[in-house]
Amino acid sequence: MKKTVKDYIRTIVDFPHEGILFRDVTTLFADPRGFRMCVDQLLAPYAGLRIDKVAGLEARGFILGGAVAHQLSTGFVPIRKKGKLPGRTIAQDYQLEYGEAVMEVHDDAMKPGEKVLLVDDLLATGGTAAAGISLIERLGAEVVGCAFVVDLPDLGGRKKLEGMGMEVHALCAFEGL
């Protein structure tokens, strides 16, 4: 039987808190066939479209976004947690399950009119992705899609992003938290 991307992802029970089923993509990244399959499937819906940059959300989105950008022959832009980028940045607050956080991007990372694909490993509540979308749009660029390895539909992130007018592509879904 042929393996799917989902088959390479392990579940760790009660991490980082009791009652959480953590979907660990590092096992997917560690397997050369699994990682290749993942990158190929992430970029497939966007092949042939104009994409100027791939933006990856910290931190696993850097791994995926860099690989996708390489395959699409585009630039890569990291969207990082506050205080991690050395140049001038713009910032966006967003809600976490247990508080707030801030994402930043360099203020010259994208130009107005550029087409950007947003990439991350997991879509949960959609807060981090929504912050990334806001940063991209504030720089005048256009998000052409949001690509994720895992969707956790019970947490509502897909609905949130689609409510913002975003196209969401996820390779697999897991029920529950």
Q: Which residues are catalytic?
A: 60, 97
DSSP secondary structure letter of residue 50: -
Q: Percentage helix, strand, coil, to 5, in the chain?
A: 35, 35, 30
Helix (H) or strand (E) holding 92: strand 89-96
- Report the alpha-carbon distance of residue 135 to residue 91 in Å, rounded: 7
- Report the alpha-carbon distance of residue 36 to residue 74 in Å, rounded: 18
